Structure 1
Amino acid sequence: MSGRTSLFARGVALVGEAALVWRRRTQGALPPPAVGGAPHIPPGRPQGAVPTLKMPTARGWAAGQTPVAAPGLAVNAFAAGLKHPRWIHVLPNGDVTVAEALLEPGAPRTVFDWARIETMRRAAAIGTSPNRITLLRDADGDGVAETRDTLLQGLRQPFGMALVDRTFYVGNTDGVLAFPYTPGTTRIEAPSRPLAKFKSGGHWTRSLLAAPDGSRLYVGVGSLTNIGDLGFEVEEGRACIVELDLASGGQRTFAHGLRNPVGMAWHPDTGELWTVVNERDGLGDETPPDYLTSVREGGFYGWPYCYWGRTVDDRVQPQDTARVAQAITPDYALGGHTASLGLCWMPRGTLPGFDQDGMVIGQHGSWNRSVLSGYRVVFVPFANGRPSGEAPRDILTGFLAPDETESYGRPVGVAIGPDGKSLLVADDVGDVIWRIGRG
């Protein structure tokens, strides 16, 4: 970005900050967090062409500094010095693969795009993508990876990973690739086999989850835009979870109307697929909330026409009343704009003090709020196959500076550690994989 362009973008960002101050003064008291199975969601207040834009400046971690673990837990760096680690996959032999990738800026279409790109650059959320998958190995089991190797490189914004039999699958932004895999290998040299193609741009992550029997692969594909801003035609094949049949190579839409479904996990008792979804922007601090939900085959979850069940978004025109009537209400609200990305099932007793089964969620953190939200790892307990409790419990916090103007890190992917008694968290601003275990 040239100096003149950068100054222009910063000027636009200052205009956005002024609009943010004005909104704070006119909107009154901040609403309570929209969380739980029956959240209070304030009426949407469209923010227009300059929506609220607030992100902390990326600072990184000082030597010896760590996030804050919940009481009874301890946190250490499993691996540091990575380059924007986003997603984690633990292999059967205990090796940990990490996708290192970064959003690459596209051409700005509006004045607000200029401001958003400049703000995201300052927050270390945009730049040149490393485009690789690194393999970490903790051979002595002390909770710190002694070796790291480049398992794959030259990819295109890799994110999701899955291993089925002797095939390692990678979710690139533009498709799914299959690589032959030998147990214990530290580098894959063989060429890939394309399995599916997807449109790139917009929400770029392509998370992967294998079916328990290994017959199918599920892919989270986010929308191109916020609310179908460029028309519905360009959103075909997006805002959905895609099912790939690994034997036939066929694919179909498993569920749709999910603006940006990222993390996915199976409930081991019910066999249901669950996901966390990032909802739309530009309606207010808590409107609508991101959510955790079970995913019904063939289900429609509202995007872009409505949210949290059948609350119509009047900004979307033309509306579709038939689709709105079909919209499924999600199971559990996670608060507005928390950017809940990571998801994994955590059995009871995995971590001390967490004596219920439930889901762990990595909340990457907000940008479209007057007060920051997310920037933490939380736990949602389950009972009788469904989320329980009025609000999630904190597992890992302390990613923000006390005045919230800077971030030391931002959590993304989460996974149960190789020992089954710890939790791994990818921190893409801190360039660290954190390990949480017994204190």
Structure 2
Amino acid sequence: MNRPTRKTMIIIVVVIAVIVLIAALLLRPMLAQYSDAQLTGPDPVIAEIKTSIIPTVNLAEPIGWNDSEAPVATGPLRVNRFATGLAHPRTMLTLANGDVLVAETSGPADNDDDGIFGWIRGWIMDRVGAGTPSADRIRLLRDADGDGVAELSTVLLDGLKSPFGMAMRDERLLVANTDAVLSFPYTMGDLQISGSPHKLLDLPGAGNHWARNILLSKDEKRLFITVGSASNIGENGMAEESGRAAIHEYNFVTGASRQFAGGLRNPNGLALEPSSGELWTSVNERDMLGPDVPLDYLTNVPIGAQYGWPWVYWKEYVDERVEAPMPQFLTEYTRRPEYALGAHTAPLGLLFAEGGNLGPQFSRGAFIARHGSWNRKPPSGYDVVFVPFDERGNPVGETPVTVLGGFLTKDRDKARGRPTWLAWDKNGALLVSDDTAGIIWRVSTGPELSR
């Protein structure tokens, strides 16, 4: 067999080098150009689009917390472990008697999100410890002696399907599975639910964005339900997006439901602003337009509101990647979000202040748990922030205030945990679920407790 000539060998080496260089350029993450401060607030920078064939993947590796470690709270606030050893805790609901219900949950096993986003989603879930089968249950935590630590932890309800949102109404516990809202008979104080559920309504459950949050209206006659999109930008066809990327409203009197607002790619947190009574939500925007765009946001949601997904983001910016024809005059009636929460920060839990439980600087406004980015370098989010509001119920201030940080290590490539949901405990302390670490943190103004 003839050996290749020197010239042939040089050509082979050059070709290999070019291939390696091209691969390195394709795989190299795009660096963000703007700071968190520039990408938050009522008037944020809307950066230029920077698309790439292969999306940036930069998820901080989860390493957990040592026994002596805890998140870092602002100023005089103190942090302790309210509960530990939980199986991917997400949402929380504090009952009138002080019991705290926690949904131990993750995406359903039969989720049919295919393609590159399906692969990325699966990789992310494995990376953050959510790739194992969902526990599919509601756990009850009880701090009977009021010392800030739950001494009782027991399974209240299991056999669910990726449960997320919870609400209590007329001795019924309402639970939003990924594909339906169920109503269970429940006497407050009981440690187990054994009665059969009544189905209030079906929900679209296939595809991406499986979580369904719920919130009662102030008069408890209606129920708001979030349903995220089945895809990033409707790439599987808009027929699959029927009833998706929206907030729905269920009427307990008539048993009917309707779409309350649309064009919200993935709404998660729901809360009523105390001064105005308006419904507000935290929203995760689309991906693969670059590290600084578009911006996740906090906004009020009037009935009939439209926020543009998948064709439009931030009212006037058209996503040219969307193949489905854009509805006529969409940009004319698309609403602009009220407050930017940064690029790819993944805001989830949303909770309004109640009379300054955590001190005067947090007396009026919204707390938001920013779960953290998976596709931005440097990473964004991984914290709990506070957005001040004025007396009329409008957000003020150019940047949110950090309430709880320290979830990322100093080099920002590893995560001890990821803040997910927020609730008040019976004594007015802020509870923060950390789904990656399996911990519920408690933030208070009182003396520091054992971690």
**Alignment TM-score, normalising by the size of structure 2:** 0.89
Matching of residue 38 in structure 1 with residue 46 in structure 2:
no
1:218 paired residue number:
224
The residue matched to 1:114 in structure 2 has which SS?
helix
- 2:172 and 2:47 map into 1 onto residues whose CA distance is 47
Query: Which ranges of structure 1 fall in alignment gaps of 5 or more residues?
Result: 1-13
Residue 342 (structure 1) aligns with: 349
Query: Deviation at 1:60?
Result: 1.2
Question: Residue 371 of structure 1: CA displacement?
Answer: 1.4
Please list the CA deviations of residues 98-139 of structure 1 after superposition, one character each: whole Å capped at 9, or x if unmatched: 001012464673356435523431232432100000011111
Does the 8 Å contact 1:375/1:399 carry over to 2? yes
SS across alignment from 2:125: helix
Structure 2 CA distance for aligned equivalents of residues 251 and 19 of structure 1 = 49
- Tell me, yes or no, if the aligned pair for 1:103 and 1:129 is still in contact at 8 Å: yes
Contact 1:86 1:100 survives alignment (8 Å) = yes
- The amino acid of 1:219's aligned partner reads I
Q: Work out which of the two has the higher radius of gyration on C-alpha atoms and give 1 or 2.
A: 2
For 1:370-389, list aligned pairs within 5 A: 370-383=377-390, 384-389=392-397
Give the SS at the match of 2:410: coil
User: Per the alignment, do residues 158 and 392 of structure 1 end up closer, same or farther by CA in structure 2, a change over 3 Å counting?
Assistant: same
Q: Which amino acid aligns with 2:331?
A: V
Alignment of 1:294 onto 2:303: no
Aligned CA distance change for structure 1 residues 194 and 18 (closer, same or farther; 3 Å): farther
Letter in 2 for 1:295: V
Structure 2 letter corresponding to 1:246: F
Query: Is contact 2:283-2:296 (8 Å) kept?
Result: yes
Secondary structure of the residue aligned to 1:325 is: helix
How far does residue 149 in structure 1 lie from its aligned partner after superposition?
Answer: 1.5
Distance 2:399 2:292 in 1: 14
Q: For residues 45-64 of structure 1, give each alpha carbon's deviation from its aligned partner in whole angstroms, at most 9, with x where no partner exists.
A: 2223x211110122111112
Are residues 1:63 and 2:67 paired?
yes
2:401 corresponds, among 388, 393, 402, to: 393
Alignment of 1:28-427 (within 5 A): 33-48=38-53, 50-104=54-108, 106=111, 109-110=114-115, 113-200=118-205, 201-317=207-323, 318-383=325-390, 384-420=392-428, 422-427=429-434
Native 8 Å contact 1:356 1:382 kept in 2 = no
- The count of residues paired between Structure 1 and Structure 2 equals 423
* Structure 1 stretch displaced more, 82-91 or 352-361: 352-361
Judged with a 3 Å threshold, the aligned counterparts in structure 2 of structure 1 residues 185 and 327 are, in CA distance, closer, same or farther, namely: same
Task: Report sequence identity in percent.
Answer: 45
Structure 1's consecutive aligned runs of 4 or more residues displaced over 6 angstroms after TM superposition are 14-17, 27-31
Query: TM-score when scaled to structure 1?
Result: 0.92
The answer to whether the Cα contact below 8 Å between 2:113 and 2:208 also exists between their aligned partners in 1 is: no
Distance 1:198 1:108 in 2: 17
Residues 42-91 of structure 1: CA deviation (Å, up to 9, x unaligned): 0222223x211110122111112111111100000000011000001000
Contact 1:72–1:353 (CA under 8 A) maintained in structure 2: no
Instruction: Decide whether aligned partners of structure 1 residues 66 and 436 sit closer, same or farther in structure 2, where only a CA change above 3 A counts.
Output: same
Q: Post-superposition shift, 1:355?
A: 4.4
Task: Quote the offset at 1:416 in angstroms.
Answer: 1.6
In structure 1, distance between residues paired with 2:93 and 2:108: 23
Pair 1:429-2:433 in alignment: no
Write out per-residue CA displacement over residues 147-180 of structure 1, whole angstroms, 9 at most, x where no aligned residue: 0111100100000000012111001001100001
Distance 1:31 1:192 in 2: 44
RMSD value, Cα:
2.1
Provide the C-alpha distance between the structure 2 equivalents of 1:386 and 1:321, rounded to a whole number of angstroms: 31
CA distance in 2, matches of 1:20, 1:370: 15
- Aligned to 1:234, what secondary structure does the other structure show? helix
In structure 2, distance between residues paired with 1:116 and 1:18:
23
For 1:283, what is the secondary structure of its paired residue? coil
C-alpha distance after superposition, 1:406-431 (max 9, x if no partner): 211101110122112x1000100110
Amino acid at match of 2:412: E
In structure 1, distance between residues paired with 2:36 and 2:398 = 16
